[in-house]
């Protein structure tokens, strides 16, 4: 038996808070450096990131982390891309929103990592927000995109992680529970612990129900760690990183 740690985070385009628009320039080098240091300290096997604005940004993060990975641009909104990085000997993106006929707003990607004789399938997802589509349309679109991602792989996903732009108990939660997934925070009795600097919990890591007994730890980086007033920003991002550690065979 061994352990596997997955970290997920919305990086806010590596701009820091405040940042007033959704049209990001190149990353802030100091913000990226500090965030990548936080990730490395947690020693994850896989890192799943949202709001990666370009291929160039992806390459910069890969160099900082010294981890290979894959990048998926946003579909209707290209700046809302995502990336997954891994330490395993083998890793590849096997499906993504780019190949889907669905008009995806942001992105999803499915990555397979592991050894030659065993692997884990991880979904990295960033779902539409109410701010851009309105409450009813965004809720329906979130469910549609979630199903598109998890149904892209016949073998199913071991993890679904990312920014869901929805609180626990919403339509996406109901959808994932019906598909046999459980919220890692709920298993750990941390449902009310915020994953955003202004409160609320729109970021999740879901695991297959049959593997829920293998969860060893669920954590969220403390808000105080994200304070960065010395560089004319309040926080490193508007979201906080979360991670799970599982026991695996």
14 domain residue, yes or no: no
The CA distances from residue 166 to 45, 64, 111, 112, 225, in Å, are 26, 31, 23, 26, 24
pLDDT at position 115: 75
User: For the domain that residue 38 is a member of, what is the CATH number?
Assistant: 3.60.10.10
157 domain residue, yes or no: yes
pLDDT at position 135: 64
Neighbour-count burial of 171, counting CB atoms closer than 10 A to its CB (0-12 exposed, 13-18 middle, 19+ buried):
middle
171 domain residue, yes or no: yes
Token pair for residue 198? 């202004």
pLDDT at position 1: 66
Domain that holds residue 233: 27-248
9 domain residue, yes or no: no
pLDDT at position 125: 98
pLDDT tens, N- to C-terminus, the chain (249 residues)? 689 999 999 999 999 999 999 999 999 999 999 999 999 999 999 999 999 999 999 999 999 999 999 999 999 999 999 999 999 989 999 999 999 999 999 999 999 998 767 899 999 999 998 777 666 788 899 999 999 999 999 989 999 999 999 999 999 999 999 999 999 999 999 999 999 999 999 999 999 999 989 999 999 999 999 999 999 999 999 999 999 999 987
183 domain residue, yes or no: yes
Token pair for residue 5? 């740690």
Q: How many CB atoms lie within 10 A of CB 146?
A: 26
Q: How many domains does the chain have?
A: 1
20 domain residue, yes or no: no
150 domain residue, yes or no: yes
pLDDT at position 226: 98
- Which residue intervals of the chain are DSSP H helices? 29-42, 55-65, 130-133, 135-150, 171-178, 184-187
């Amino acid at each position: 038996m061994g352990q596997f740690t997955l970290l997920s985070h919305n990086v806010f385009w590596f701009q820091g808070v405040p940042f007033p628009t959704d049209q990001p320039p190149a990353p802030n080098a100091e913000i990226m450096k500090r965030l990548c240091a936080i990730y490395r300290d947690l020693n994850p096997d896989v890192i799943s990131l949202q709001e990666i604005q370009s291929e160039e940004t992806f390459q910069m993060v890969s160099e900082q982390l010294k981890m290979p990975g894959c990048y998926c641009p946003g579909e209707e909104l290209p700046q809302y891309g995502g990336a997954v990085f891994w330490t395993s000997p083998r890793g590849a993106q096997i499906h993504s929103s780019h190949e889907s006929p669905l008009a995806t707003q942001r992105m999803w990607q499915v990555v397979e990592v592991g050894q030659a004789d065993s692997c884990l399938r991880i979904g990295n997802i960033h779902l539409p927000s109410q701010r851009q589509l309105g409450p009813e349309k965004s809720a329906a679109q979130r469910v549609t995109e979630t199903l598109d991602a998890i149904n892209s792989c016949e073998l199913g996903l071991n993890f679904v992680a990312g920014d869901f732009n929805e609180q626990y108990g919403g339509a996406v939660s109901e959808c994932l529970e019906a598909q046999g997934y459980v919220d890692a925070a709920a298993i750990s009795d941390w449902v009310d612990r915020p994953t955003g600097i202004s409160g609320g919990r729109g970021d999740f890591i879901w695991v297959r129900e049959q593997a829920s007994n293998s969860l060893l730890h669920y954590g969220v980086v403390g808000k105080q760690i994200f304070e960065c007033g010395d560089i004319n920003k309040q926080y490193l991002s508007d979201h906080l990183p979360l991670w799970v550690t599982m026991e695996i065979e």
